[in-house]
Amino acid sequence: GSLLYFPDSTVDYLILFIGCIFNSTFHQPSYIRPISCESFAGPGPGLSFVLPDDAVPAGNWVQACSQVIQLPVHKYGEINVTHPGWANSGYASVLRQEFQLGWNESGKPPACIQCEGSNSKGRCGHSRTGDFIGCLCPDGRVHSDDNCDK
Ligand SMILES: *[C@@H]1O[C@H](CO)[C@@H](O)[C@H](O)[C@H]1NC(C)=O
Ligand SMILES: *[C@@H]1O[C@H](CO)[C@@H](O)[C@H](O)[C@H]1NC(C)=O
Ligand SMILES: *[C@@H]1O[C@H](CO)[C@@H](O)[C@H](O)[C@H]1NC(C)=O
Name the closest ligand to CA 79.
2
Please write the tens of the pLDDT for every residue from 13-23: 999 999 999 99
First CA to last CA across the chain, in angstroms?
29
CA of 84 to the centre of ligand 2 (A): 9
Is the CB of 141 within 6 Å of ligand 2?
Answer: no
pLDDT (mean) for 1-29: 87
pTM check: above 0.95: no
> What pLDDT is stored for residue 53 in this prediction?
93
> What pLDDT is stored for residue 37 in this prediction?
66
CA 109 to chain centre: 24
CB crowding 12-34: b at 16 or more within 10 Å, else e = bebbbbbbbeeeeebebbeebbe
CB crowding 80-104: b at 16 or more within 10 Å, else e = ebeeeebbeebbeebeeeebeeeee
> What pLDDT is stored for residue 14 in this prediction?
95
Quote the CA–CA distance of 119 and 137 in Å, as a whole number.
Answer: 11
Q: Beta partners for 69?
A: 16
> What pLDDT is stored for residue 134 in this prediction?
92
Please write the tens of the pLDDT for every residue from 51-65: 999 999 999 999 999
| Three-class SS state of 124 | strand
CA of 57 to the centre of ligand 1 (A): 16
Does residue 40 have a pLDDT over 80?
no
Is the CB of 104 within 6 Å of ligand 3?
Answer: yes
Name the closest ligand to CA 62.
1
Is the CB of 10 within 6 Å of ligand 3?
Answer: no
Q: Which of 15-19, 42-46, 83-87, 142-146 has the weakest average pLDDT?
A: 42-46
Q: Which of 25-34, 81-90, 126-135 has the weakest average pLDDT?
A: 126-135
pLDDT (mean) for 32-52: 80
User: Hey, whose CA ends up nearest to atom 13 of ligand 2?
Assistant: 80
Closest ligand 1 atom, CA of 22? 2
Name the closest ligand to CA 106.
3
> What pLDDT is stored for residue 38 in this prediction?
64
Phi, psi of 112 (to 5 degrees): -70, -40
Is the CB of 9 within 6 Å of ligand 3?
Answer: no
CA-closest candidate to residue 54, choices 95, 99, 8, 14 = 14
The residues spanned by each domain of the chain are 4-95, 108-143
